[in-house]
Amino acid sequence: EMIKRYRTTVFRFAGSNTPGFLKKEIAEELIKEGLDIKYTTFGHVGDDVRDFELLKESGCYSLFFGIESGSQRILEESINKLSGGRFVKIQQIIAAINICKKAGIYTVGSVIIPAPLETEETKKESLDLLLNRIKIDSVLVSLPGVVLGTEWERNHEKYNIVYLNPETFDKDLMIYKIKLLAPPILWDPFPYKINGKPFKEYAKESNDFAQALEENGILTQAPDEMLLMAHLAEMPAREFRDRMRQCFSLGNYKELKKIIGKINYNSFFTE
């Protein structure tokens, strides 16, 4: 019904934490109905890795995993990353990403650099994980974002997060606007320090980490839906990312329209 209504065979499941069992049920139903579609969605390192081949068969093109860090200490002491009520282990991350890749699904992961309590050693652990221990197609390198009501906000001193203006912090955070088309180093400063560093320092730290990945051949800042759009545009993912950045930053409407037309043509549903 949705395919006919929207005239497309391409979808992205937008839920940020789709349960593994639900992904499996949807995949089974897609196969049962014989629907020829492509889709991307969020994965989780705690998902049942036996389901990845089923997801691939159902049309899953890419999965986005929140890796967060390659350091076990950071996962436990800073990120508080859990699966089934227990701390996620690095070996879980390695197994999930590599088995997903082996199933033929494009793998995307995100890391927070620098995380609160980050050190040079823990950054090296993250770099080693991404370069040498997992098969990853794209990595999103993110800044540490403090959100009202979260553990980092409630206990910010514990995580070495210092508010610049405590009296106006809530308001400053709520009205902050992310410049999605610009690299973080060009954003307006966050209203807090991380690990004793002002915004420009930790933004550069994040940018340098992403650059190190790029220099080693790993695509960065290309999420799962972008990989699918690149496929539909019949373009390598890195070229697609770079051309999109150029089109939006320069306002190149004609080039953008041409690429969108190609994507729509290759995703259009015909009865």
Residue pLDDT, tens place only, 91-108: 999 999 999 999 999 999
For the chain, percent of residues with pLDDT exceeding 70 = 99
> From the centroid of its chain, how far is CA 182?
17
What pLDDT shows up at residue 128? 99
Name the burial class of residue 114, with classes exposed (0-12), middle (13-18) and buried (19+) by CB atoms within 10 angstroms of its CB: buried
What pLDDT shows up at residue 99? 98
What pLDDT shows up at residue 261? 96
Average pLDDT for residues 125-146, to the nearest whole number?
A: 98
Indicate the CATH number for domain 2-267. Answer: 3.30.750.200
Residue 271 has pLDDT above 70, yes or no: no
What pLDDT shows up at residue 34? 94
Q: Domain map of the chain by residue range?
A: 2-267
Buried b (16+ CB within 10 A) or exposed e, 150-162: eebbeebeebebe
What pLDDT shows up at residue 270? 61
- 192 close to 156: Cβ distance less than 8 angstroms: yes
Q: For residue 110, what are the β-bridge partners?
A: 66, 140
Average pLDDT for residues 98-125, to the nearest whole number?
A: 98
Contacts for 241 with CB less than 8 Å, ≥ 6 apart? 219, 221, 222, 226, 230
Residue 233 has pLDDT above 90, yes or no: yes
pLDDT digits (tens, 9 = 90+) for 59-77: 999 999 999 999 999 999 9
Mean pLDDT, the chain, rounded, equals 95
| pLDDT: which is higher, 71 or 183 | 71
> From the centroid of its chain, how far is CA 196?
26
Contacts for 73 with CB less than 8 Å, ≥ 6 apart? 117, 122
Average pLDDT for residues 115-126, to the nearest whole number?
A: 98
Measure the CA–CA gap between 163 and 145, rounded to whole angstroms.
Answer: 13
| pLDDT: which is higher, 42 or 270 | 42
What pLDDT shows up at residue 14? 83
